[in-house]
């Protein structure tokens, strides 16, 4: 006589905690940051500062939403900052050349997607590690931007509609913030509720299994870099619109903020597990730390050190909590 073994089932609350440990811990950490800066400064929680924070966080959130897809496939895109700079400079050059700004926007978005897909082709079809391809991209795209602008900043004039996208507000809320939240919502729906998102997760979890059940594994791998390219172009346009100029020196170190936001949010660098809600919280946390430290009059040089240390500590805690949560789940057998 044999019995079919069954795992004992813990309480539903315990399952929920284990499943969402990462998002819950980043949410907790975010609240701690908010409370800390709210008590240490008088201005942090004012409406003006919050709107400012959201406006500044918008480009990071847009690219981090796309980066969540890339990291969920166990990839990485280091070139997003350089892509932002390239589109930023190209957009200013194109508008200065007299091309109507709505057309410029379409051209830039298409160019961003094409650049991303080209990198994706090297990664998916030529099987060169994403780290290498996008590291090369990081160098190449910034180089092209520098070459085109000769290092100068190019002003954007007589394109009020364009600059309104970066500076304007609807019902008091900055347009970049509204657009970035829209992007995050779309990313959430696609990753969690649509076939493409399921394919992204499957390719990240077990590429071979995904291929065997007939999923277009190569195309999925390549396409996520198209998404970061598209998102980088969008972010580059918003930054150009906000600053009213295009510069090859835009978004230096941007890729690190983006990757930190995604990983802080609980998306696994090993692939197979991605969360847009976590990415939103991660982005807000990074933006709040940067903003809060400035308000506290901490030296900007010191800010970088603190930001790095906080990210390391948060991710360390995050991994520990998550790992122990998993172990708890297993022990229940």
* Residues at the interface with another protein (CB under 8 A): 1-7, 9, 15, 19, 189, 193-195, 198, 201-202, 204-206, 208-210, 212-215, 268, 272-273, 326, 329-330, 333
**Rounded to 5 degrees, what angle do the CA atoms 15, 18, 22 make?**
145
Smallest separation, CB 296 to another protein (Å): 39
Bridge partners for 245 per DSSP: 155
Q: Which lies closer to another protein via its Cβ, residue 14 or residue 169?
A: 14
Is residue 138 within 8 Å of residue 255, measured between CB atoms? Answer: yes
Smallest separation, CB 206 to another protein (Å): 5
Smallest separation, CB 20 to another protein (Å): 12
Tell me the C-alpha distance between 278 and 131, whole Å. Answer: 23
Q: Looking at the chain, how many residues does it have?
A: 333
Q: Which lies closer to another protein via its Cβ, residue 167 or residue 198?
A: 198
Q: Which lies closer to another protein via its Cβ, residue 173 or residue 326?
A: 326
Q: Which lies closer to another protein via its Cβ, residue 132 or residue 194?
A: 194
Smallest separation, CB 203 to another protein (Å): 9
Q: Which lies closer to another protein via its Cβ, residue 191 or residue 314?
A: 191
Q: Which lies closer to another protein via its Cβ, residue 9 or residue 126?
A: 9
In order of 56, 63, 88, 104, the CA distances from 135 in angstroms are: 25, 17, 19, 27
Residues in Cβ contact with 221 at an 8 Å cutoff, skipping those fewer than 6 apart: 73, 75, 120, 123, 124, 203, 207
Residue 91 falls in which region: left (phi positive, over 0), alpha (psi -120 to 50) or beta = alpha
Residues in Cβ contact with 58 at an 8 Å cutoff, skipping those fewer than 6 apart: 174, 176, 177, 179, 180, 235, 238
Smallest separation, CB 195 to another protein (Å): 5
Smallest separation, CB 333 to another protein (Å): 7
Q: Which lies closer to another protein via its Cβ, residue 214 or residue 253?
A: 214
Bridge partners for 246 per DSSP: 154
Q: Which lies closer to another protein via its Cβ, residue 40 or residue 194?
A: 194
Smallest separation, CB 268 to another protein (Å): 8
Tell me the C-alpha distance between 274 and 68, whole Å. Answer: 6
Tell me the C-alpha distance between 228 and 118, whole Å. Answer: 12
Smallest separation, CB 112 to another protein (Å): 25
Tell me the C-alpha distance between 191 and 274, whole Å. Answer: 8
* DSSP H or E run through 246: strand 245-246
């Amino acid at each position: 006589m044999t019995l079919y073994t069954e795992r004992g089932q813990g309480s539903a609350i315990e399952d929920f905690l284990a499943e969402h440990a990462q998002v819950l811990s980043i949410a907790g950490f975010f609240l701690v940051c908010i409370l800390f800066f709210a008590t240490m400064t008088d201005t942090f929680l004012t409406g003006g500062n919050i709107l400012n924070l959201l406006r500044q966080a918008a480009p990071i959130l847009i690219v981090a939403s796309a980066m969540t897809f890339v990291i969920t496939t166990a990839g990485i895109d280091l070139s997003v900052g350089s892509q932002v700079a390239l589109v930023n400079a190209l957009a200013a050059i194109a508008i200065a050349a007299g091309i109507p700004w709505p057309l410029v926007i379409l051209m830039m978005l298409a160019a961003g997607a094409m650049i991303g897909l080209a990198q994706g082709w090297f990664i998916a079809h030529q099987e060169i590690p994403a780290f290498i391809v996008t590291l090369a991209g990081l160098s190449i795209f910034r180089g092209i931007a520098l070459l085109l602008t000769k290092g100068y900043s190019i002003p954007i004039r007589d394109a009020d509609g364009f600059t309104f996208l970066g500076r304007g507000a609807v019902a008091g809320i900055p347009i970049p913030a509204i657009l970035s939240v829209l992007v995050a919502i779309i990313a959430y729906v696609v990753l969690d509720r649509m076939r493409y998102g399921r394919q992204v997760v499957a390719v990240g979890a077990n590429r071979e299994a995904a291929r065997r059940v007939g999923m277009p594994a190569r195309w999925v791998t390549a396409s996520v870099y198209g998404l970061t390219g598209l998102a980088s172009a969008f972010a580059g346009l918003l930054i150009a619109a906000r600053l009213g100029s295009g510069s090859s020196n835009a978004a230096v170190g941007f890729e690190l903020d983006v990757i930190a936001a995604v990983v802080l949010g609980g998306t696994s660098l090993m692939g197979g597990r991605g969360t847009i809600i976590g990415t939103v919280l991660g982005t807000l946390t990074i933006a709040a730390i940067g903003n809060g430290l400035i308000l506290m009059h901490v030296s900007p040089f010191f800010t970088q050190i603190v930001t790095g240390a906080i990210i390391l500590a948060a991710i360390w805690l995050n991994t520990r909590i998550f790992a122990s949560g998993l172990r708890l789940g297993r022990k229940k057998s």
